[in-house]
Amino acid sequence: MVVSTVFLVLPSITDNRIPPYLVVLAVMLFLFGIIRLVHNVRKLEKDYVRISDSYISLDRGVALPRRKIPFDRIESVVPMEKVILLKLEYGEEKEIYKELLEPEDINELQEALAAQRERGFG
């Protein structure tokens, strides 16, 4: 499919009917789409949430490092239908999306947060 598209567009490029910057933009968007596709497939294999003794770390995507949230920064936890909302110091909030977790992982996360809440989050 990609090859046939290239052969259809190639005459327009060589005749200067399609500006070269549009071709470069199209190729960049195509490559970005491939990167996103690979990321989404691999996301199923990665841990979205990791729980440590002193913090929770969350996966933030392709090029961003994991976000570490120390338990002592968490002021409260609000379980909602589709997310678990962590209310942090200074009015900051972080959502943990339940759809990215297995049901048993949701229960384990809620138990870990409850245990930390009993200890006073820190």
SS (H, E, C) 15-62: CCCCCHHHHHHHHHHHHHHHHHHHHHHHHCCCCCEEECCCEEEECCCC
What is the SS3 assignment for 74?
strand
Amino acid 5: pLDDT: 60
Residue 16 and residue 12: Cα distance in Å, rounded? 6
Residues 6 or more apart in contact with residue 105 via CB below 8 angstroms = 49
Question: What one-letter code names the amino acid at 117?
Answer: R
What is the tens place of the pLDDT at every residue in 61-115? 777 888 999 998 999 899 999 999 999 999 999 999 998 888 898 999 998 888 8
Q: Considering only residues 45 and 100, tell me which one the structure prediction assigns the higher pLDDT.
A: 100
User: pLDDT above 70 covers what percent of the chain?
Assistant: 82
User: Checking DSSP bridges between strand 74-79 and strand 55-58, what pairing results, if any?
Assistant: unpaired
